[in-house]
Structure 1
């Protein structure tokens, strides 16, 4: 039996329960949050400014830029790129959301662990019998392609992400990102990253060039997909893999990087309707805006969200579409966190983000937390 820690190497942010927001007050003076967990995040941000990147606009002229062009580990926030590419392909008739996908082909992208049990949770939510590592009992059973995409966003399923990358290719992912102003994001194989953690003798050396790590990851992923003997080798090595965030930190730092400005730019294009083709927007928004539908602030049409986490790292990409046509966007990237913050802090961080985009005084409070004291 593997430990829970081994399952939680690369989890996503949990979606919090319902939260009602009132109308925004006229004043925009900073004030202490009445939410103690959100206030604790603000205190942490104020004390660790060098470990925080923020790109935010509130849709009413407010703007925050703090280390927004500093590359940081993206974790699962990168998946908005895969979603945009999928939606583009659907809008152009290149993919059919109803296409039946064999579960065995989906499972082949999942190296058993290191996704926060996302794949297991996705299959369980669908009522699909599987073992405790998320491998379906019936590999020939099928689900619609759009179901994989939903799993990628709702559960942050890495296997679905890699499946889409395999179908679409990196050039299509890059073109979709460019439609939101993000030039050539690092869309490497997430499965390949995990396999390099499990099998360090096959991994790129620490500090190796990104291109080398990507090539090695792709090679290992293809071996896992097509070679059952290699899968058995991976399975046998899982109990030996690094188990703590400290042990995993060198591996985490080698993951794909991007900036808060890039992430915010793509979210803004989707929320503001400037993403092209426009025919892709209903698909993108349909998936991004489903998870936080219960948290839509008064006066808003929808909240779009994709977060992600890795050891010592939590990120959120958030957008709010207001009924009056305004668009609010927040990309918040944090590193140097404790295990408890990574595993349990997501709901409060989401509340903080929605509150900042909904209330001028809370936006001002977030801005003040990033301003050094005189």
Structure 2
């Protein structure tokens, strides 16, 4: 290397030394300021709270009407919304096959009766000959056996005739009680199987309000509670009812229990299928409520951010919701009295993040 090249290398080293020294003395990145949040301190309150649920009006008893035999349906005489009375024909099957079976059964009975008349005459002759001493016991026993067989044949033919008459009657589907048609199944021209739903009828005599009830509400409901049920679109239309039936098992998807409230003297405006709101006062018990803005989710489950007052950090805590409205959420579990809960900005927080309570010293 030449002398000039050595001089250039020394100059470059003198220039780089200050830069390297400056890099070595670089300050660490600044610590982010605590995030300001609004909070509230939860306190238990005693109940007698009113819970509201939305449900529908359904008939107390609803039955599916279907034919007892198979065949091709020729006509259906009612439609959805029609009222029916007991004994009214609602649908018919093609009668030709059953009429032929009935004629065959009648012919079989006539033949069996004719055979019985002949066998009875033979029996009488055999009996008289045996009594007079000109007949044999063997011939008489044969006549008795033939008579019993002929009578059995008549009984069987009579039974078959009754079956054929019943089957012909089964080609007409009759309503068994007064009610309203709420659904239809097969259409005219279809070949239907026995028991297939042709029409569904809501029987008169009872109306239920049906609700899907959360487990916590079910557990806190008082015995023999009076439920106020009102039409959602017109709360002036209302009726009272009592719990008539509660499903013993929860719905596998929603986890709620189906409850049927028997309405007492419901007004005509509470029609089947109407959306209603039910209100019930729960048993007095301690509960905790938080603003609706405090609620978030963790693993698809409701949760809230709770502040550690000493460390000034937040942690996500799962909770169980008892009920809610647009402003507040009543919790069944997850929080205790004195817990500090974040009520604003919950979507921007992360686990263990430092926070500053608004209104408190930083």
Q: Normalising TM by the smaller chain, what interval?
A: under 0.3
* TM-score for both structures, normalised by structure 1: 0.24
Name the structure with the higher strand share: 2
* RCO comparison, higher one (Cα < 8 Å, 6+): 1
Whichever of the two has the greater Rg, that structure is: 2
Structure 2 length as normaliser, TM-score?
0.24
